[in-house]
Amino acid sequence: MTRWVLGDALTRRHIREGERVLMVEAHGFARRKPYHPHKLTLVFSAMRHFRDELREDGHEVDYYRCETFGEGLDAHFDARPEDTLTLMEPASTDTDRLRELVESRGGSLEVAETALFLCDDELWSDYADDRDPPYRHEEFYRSMRRETGYLMENGDPVGGEWNYDEENREFPGEAYDPPDPPRYEPDALTEEVESWVREEFSGSYEENGGDWAAPETFIWPVTREQALDALDRFCEDRLAEFGPYQDAMLDREWALNHSLLSSSLNLGLLHPDEVVETVIDAAAEQDAPLNSVEGFVRQVIGWREFTRRVYAETDGLADANQLDQTEPLPELFWTGETDMACLSDVIDGVRKRGYSHHIERLMILSNFALIYGVDPGELNEWFHAGYVDAYHWVTTPNVVEMGSFGAGVFATKPYAASANYVNKMSDYCSGCPYYHTKASGEGSCPFNALYWDFLARNEEKLRSNHRMGLVYSHLDDKRGEKLDAIRERAAEVRTMAEDGTL
């Protein structure tokens, strides 16, 4: 019997003392997409650190570096014919495919429950019962609060409300100086992986259309010790102001008060229950505002669990495209070359470190792609390749559904917004050559023309949505010459994006 540990399941919770462990570094997998060098460095370095720690603790670890899982399994079953492998249920990989790979080599596969998510089948069916989609996050989140007991008092939510989001939309002002985010400088092993990644994979991300030139120094936690330190640093430095400024965006402040824990959670270096419990305890000690703590808990036991479940329950979500959007992703998503201050800064951050925070992902990047008309599948590929925390189970619901309104499986309306939103929640517009107040003509902000053009293009599909009534009445006010000029500007913006002159 051998414990098979996948690269995004680096947890000790399911490994018994002295148990033999199998790990396979499958390089072909990494060659298939134009992955950001920091994403590949993170996964391979974290795997190798995990291997070394297990060995130090007396585990026998068979670690194969090869092209495919199949090759690794060939080597394993040559050495240990008819072995039984035990695997923790993966979030993105199809278990049937893995079973086939194992059984075709004469082995057998046992699948154990995941330790990396809290919502098991029973909890999901308590929420979903026999309901058909659309699934509703808020109801799911409340059932998770009840089941876990987090922030609950005598069966009621602490403070009397389930959700304090209305207090979490403040803009701190341009002069706001948030605490520095932690950086975990590469050790010798990470440095070795990083230079090997550059040699081995730079060709494939360029061949696949990627252009991730010049990422800055790698900073992400690659061990559990570092991830736990990142959790402590979040609690000490940024938790109290996490809530109010959660939706804010500041030029040159890439982290604000976000936790930066997604890459560690998604690799298995941290578990969601310990993250939430640590945060709740720290909040009690510091008397941190409830809107900050509840806002954070909601992201982890709400959105993170919800997206993983929606991914598992929804066939064909990756290909969903109910708005029939077909535009290719503009090249500037790879190069960051645009005069638009918001897009340029956020894409620059992705190129440098494979990260941007939630509202930048939703209201700058995917909002732009949505109103531009980008094919959701192509956008999903870009997010999947570019972010250090990206895996198919989490990008697909976030990008295809939340960001692109691909299926309506949980989103009630598209997250489409004009420059008005960007100006309210950021300091980008004051330093941008485009005018956020203009909707058409030279120099007008592309977000405006694309936004109204998006509504006009999709009127047949969206007008009847009761949450869109108000915006369509505003569109009606523009009909005639105004809308013609706006749509002309939208066409011009697309041409500029295609020419690389936006």
Q: Which residues bind ligand FAD (CB under 6 A)?
A: 258-262, 265-266, 296, 299-300, 303-304, 307, 357-358, 361-362, 366, 383, 387, 389-390, 394-395, 398-399, 402-403
Q: Mapped to the 3 state alphabet, what secondary structure does 79-109 carry? A: HCCCCEEEEECCCCCCHHHHHHHHHCCCCEE
Smallest gap from Cβ 257 to ligand FAD, in A, equals 8
- Which residue lies nearer to ligand FAD by CB, 59 or 304? 304
Rounded CA gap, 88 and 268, in Å?
A: 11
Burial code (b: 16+ CB inside 10 Å, e: under 16) for 452-485 equals: bbbbbbbeeebeebeebeebbeebeebeeeebeb
Nearer to ligand FAD, 279 or 429 (CB): 279
Cβ 244 to ligand FAD shortest distance, Å? 13
Reported in sequence order, the residue ranges of 136-176 that DSSP labels E, i.e. its strands, are 152-153, 156-157
Nearer to ligand FAD, 93 or 266 (CB): 266
Euclidean distance between CA atoms 214 and 337, whole angstroms? 14
Q: How far is the CB of 270 from ligand FAD (least distance, A)?
A: 9
Nearer to ligand FAD, 15 or 300 (CB): 300
- In whole angstroms, how close is the CB of 365 to ligand FAD at the nearest point? 6
CB of residue 429 to ligand FAD, shortest distance in Å: 21
Residue nearer to ligand FAD on the CB measure, 10 or 261: 261
Nearest CB to ligand FAD, comparing residues 86 and 366: 366
Tokens coding 333: 């998503």
Which CB, 317 or 402, lies closer to ligand FAD? Answer: 402
> Closest distance between ligand FAD and the C-beta of residue 307, in Å?
4
107 or 268, CB closer to ligand FAD? Answer: 268
Give the tokens for residue 74. Answer: 């060939």
Tell me the one-letter amino acid at 493: V
Residue 69 or 410: the one with the smaller Cβ distance to ligand FAD is 410
CB of 409 to ligand FAD, least distance (A): 14
User: Cβ(193)–Cβ(45) under 8 Å?
Assistant: yes
Collapse the DSSP code of 163 into the 3-class scheme (helix H, G, I; strand E, B; otherwise coil) and give the result.
coil
Closest distance of CB 492 from ligand FAD, Å: 26
Closest by alpha carbon to 331, among 361, 372, 390, 367? 372
Question: How far is the C-alpha of 410 from the C-alpha of 190, rounded, in Å?
Answer: 39
Least separation, in Å, of the C-beta of 263 and ligand FAD? 7
Could you tell me the CA-to-CA distances from 261 to 33, 167, 302 in Å, in that order?
A: 24, 23, 15
Phi first, then psi: give them for residue 112, nearest 5 degrees.
-100, 160
**Residue 86, helix vs strand vs coil:** strand
What gap in Å lies between CA 165 and CA 244, rounded to an integer?
A: 9
Residue 210 CB, shortest distance to ligand FAD, in Å, is 16
Judged by beta carbon, residue 88 or residue 260, the one nearer ligand FAD is 260
Neighbours of 7 (CB within 10 A): 20
Task: List, in sequence order, every residue forming a beta bridge with 110; answer none if it has no partner.
Answer: 86
CB 269 within 8 A of CB 223: yes
Side by side, the strands of the sheet bearing 2-4 are 61-66, 21-26, 2-4, 84-88, 108-112
